[in-house]
């Protein structure tokens, strides 16, 4: 299983998101610190879950980092986390990547 798929699986199981995207941005960082051939070093996560309601941004990010602790220790060099609203007046599209 790729690192991207592992991240999707872990975050889906842990947070039951209404929206989840995991984007491998490794190629954008070619030649930078932490980059390696084959990618899977730099990721962007966009997540919306009701489990983050009422939590500070710091608490939300810590929860994601905790869920992905093994991946961060095993070679993910950079992780950008975007927490999106799980509902509200504007709403967001329901999308969970497979």
The domain segmentation of the chain, as residue ranges, is 3-29+40-87
The three-class DSSP label of residue 17 is: coil
Q: How far apart are CA 41 and CA 18, in angstroms?
A: 25
Tokens of 19: 């929206």
CB 77 within 8 A of CB 34: yes
Q: Hey, which CATH number is domain 3-29+40-87, 3.30.300.90, 3.40.50.360, 3.50.50.60, 3.40.50.1220?
A: 3.30.300.90
- Stated as kind and residue range, the H or E segment containing 85 is none
The confidence band for 94, taking pLDDT boundaries of 50, 70 and 90, is: low
**Per-residue model confidence as pLDDT tens digits over 7-42:** 999 999 999 999 999 999 876 655 566 555 556 788
In sequence order, what are the beta bridge partners of 95? 19
pLDDT in tens, 36-56: 555 678 899 999 999 999 999
Could you give the CA distance from residue 2 to residue 86 in angstroms, rounded to a whole number?
27
């Amino acid at each position: 299983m790729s690192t991207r798929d592992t991240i999707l699986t872990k975050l889906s199981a842990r947070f039951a998101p209404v929206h989840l995207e995991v984007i491998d941005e490794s190629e954008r960082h070619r030649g930078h610190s932490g980059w390696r051939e084959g990618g899977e070093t730099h990721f962007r996560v966009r997540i919306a879950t009701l489990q983050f309601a009422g939590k500070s941004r710091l608490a939300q990010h810590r929860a994601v980092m905790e869920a992905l602790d093994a991946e961060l220790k095993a070679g993910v060099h950079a992780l950008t986390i975007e927490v999106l609203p799980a509902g509200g007046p504007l709403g967001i599209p329901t999308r969970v990547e497979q």
